[in-house]
Amino acid sequence: MNEALLARYDASLRGLARKDRLRTLSPRAGLDFSSNDYLGLAASKRLGDAVAAAIARGTPVGATGSRLLRGNSPEHEALEADAAAFFGAERALFFGSGYIANFALLTTLPQKGDLLILDELAHASMHEGARAGRAEFKLAAHNDIDAVEDAITRWRAEGGMARIWIAVESLYSMDGDRAPMARLIALADRHEAFLVVDEAHATGIWGPDGRGLAAAFEGRDNIVALHTCGKALGASGALVTGPGTLCDYLVNRCRPFIYATAPSPLMAVAVREALAMLSDEPQRRVQLQERVAFAGRQLAERCGVKPSGSQIQPFVIGDNRRTMAVAAALQTRGFDIRGIRPPTVPEGTSRLRISLTLNVDEADISAMVEALVEVLAST
């Protein structure tokens, strides 16, 4: 083994360990308080049956090529037609993952000379896309509309002439709070700007029929939304919805779309079924909201936590080591709760990210809160 070859990576890993930031993979175990399978669709019989039926009628596992070559299957097209109708957009395009879709959007749509303003707490995939893209890029303080408007005004005053893009999440993945959607749309309209909304944690749960928090605005020329399929939809991939012209542009210019094997047609079948389930089984959303409210009350009463009001409930501890120790102690007691550290969250805000799903019931939530109280007292 040539140790010199690997030395700098070893040193970097040791550095992470010194800062209590070393990550390792661990098997899934314990009650689900960490997944994004909010509606419990991932292992549902209906999704499984839809995929089994598709296999039985000969749907291939692999797409066999790029969508622009032989990889375009009727399953992709049927999904995109249903998704556009469901979300109220002119068109939809199916990508292999939300990460790739965000990266693809922000590297392809904003052009040289444009300004892209990104909420500082937006997902890593948006940050990567913004950095790699051609537009000038600025970060805005979280959910601060005035900061976004100031950045626009300054850029215009300095001679910025081209198009403005604003990129946000609708429900933030690590804090569970919402973007001020109506104000963002009004701001975008005022400045003839585009708004890119990552609905990853809203799709399936929030908005009419689970169509997301920007549902009222889909179908406009200046809105592009990202609906990931690996969270509440229980599958994988992501649907980009927006104006037909922008979708055509992506098909022609978006390298991650063009130069990649299309997602499995079976995944397209699963996602299509999940969309149908959102309309057919509204009780799942009602049950989830009941669990969110129940957990919020318990965590507020027993641990003094301010409820986020969503299925993502952060419990900020601050110190990296203590956060991971509390998470580990909860895992030992059978509760799968994960600690989240920088750089995923800002320095000094390490936290437990408590995720509420239909994979647990109220008794599980009570037991988890009880365990959390005990662990916090002893860790």
Which residues are catalytically annotated?
A: 36, 123, 169, 173, 198, 201, 231
Compute the distance between CA of residue 49 and CA of residue 128 in angstroms, rounded to an integer. Answer: 37
Helices (H) and strands (E) counted in the chain, each on its own, are: 13, 12
Does 230 contact ligand PLP by CB under 6 A?
yes
Binding mask 39-78 for ligand PLP (x = CB under 6 A): ----------------------------------------
CB neighbour burial string for 50-73, b if at least 16 within 10 angstroms, e if fewer: bbeebeeeebeeebeeebeeebbb
Stretch of residues binding ligand PLP (CB under 6 A), selected from 27-35, 197-205, 213-221, 344-352: 197-205
Does 238 contact ligand PLP by CB under 6 A?
yes
Nearer to ligand PLP (CB atom), residue 101 or residue 269: 101
Vertex 98: Cα angle to 94 and 100 (nearest 5) = 85
Nearer to ligand PLP (CB atom), residue 356 or residue 369: 356
Token code pair at residue 286: 């009602």
Does 227 contact ligand PLP by CB under 6 A?
no
Residues 6+ apart with CB under 8 A from 275: 79, 82, 83, 86, 233
| HSE-up (13 A, CA, CB side) for residue 5 | 2
Q: What are the φ and ψ backbone dihedral angles of 299, each rounded to 5 degrees?
A: -70, -35
Stretch of residues binding ligand PLP (CB under 6 A), selected from 61-69, 135-143, 195-203, 345-353: 195-203
Minimum CB separation of residue 320 from ligand PLP in Å reads 20
Among 98, 210, 242, 243, binds ligand PLP (CB under 6 A): 98
Stretch of residues binding ligand PLP (CB under 6 A), selected from 95-103, 260-268, 324-332, 370-378: 95-103
Does 206 contact ligand PLP by CB under 6 A?
no
Q: Residue 256, preceding bond cis, omega within 30 degrees? A: no
Q: What are the φ and ψ backbone dihedral angles of 22, each rounded to 5 degrees?
A: -70, 135
Nearest residue to 167 via CA among 212, 202, 137: 137
Minimum CB separation of residue 90 from ligand PLP in Å reads 22
Stretch of residues binding ligand PLP (CB under 6 A), selected from 64-72, 96-104, 303-311, 361-369: 96-104
Residues 104-143 binding ligand PLP (CB under 6 A) are 123, 125
Does 312 contact ligand PLP by CB under 6 A?
no
Does 97 contact ligand PLP by CB under 6 A?
yes
Task: Tell how far CA 124 is from the center of its chain.
Answer: 10
How many Å from the N-terminal Cα to the C-terminal Cα in the chain? 41
Name the residue type at position 289: Q
Does 198 contact ligand PLP by CB under 6 A?
yes
The pairing of strands 31-32 and 335-336 is parallel
Contact in structure between 46 and 39 (CB atoms under 8 Å): no
Among 50, 93, 196, 200, binds ligand PLP (CB under 6 A): 200
Nearer to ligand PLP (CB atom), residue 172 or residue 217: 172
Helix (H) or strand (E) holding 286: helix 283-303
Q: Where are the beta strands (DSSP E) in the chain?
A: 31-32, 91-95, 115-119, 136-140, 164-169, 194-198, 223-228, 238-242, 312-318, 335-336, 338-340, 350-355
Does 94 contact ligand PLP by CB under 6 A?
no
Does 234 contact ligand PLP by CB under 6 A?
no
Minimum CB separation of residue 248 from ligand PLP in Å reads 23
Token code pair at residue 120: 């500082």
Among 173, 310, 323, 331, binds ligand PLP (CB under 6 A): 173
Nearer to ligand PLP (CB atom), residue 88 or residue 98: 98
Residue numbers at the binding site for ligand PLP (CB under 6 A): 97-99, 102, 123, 125, 169, 173, 198, 200-201, 228, 230, 238
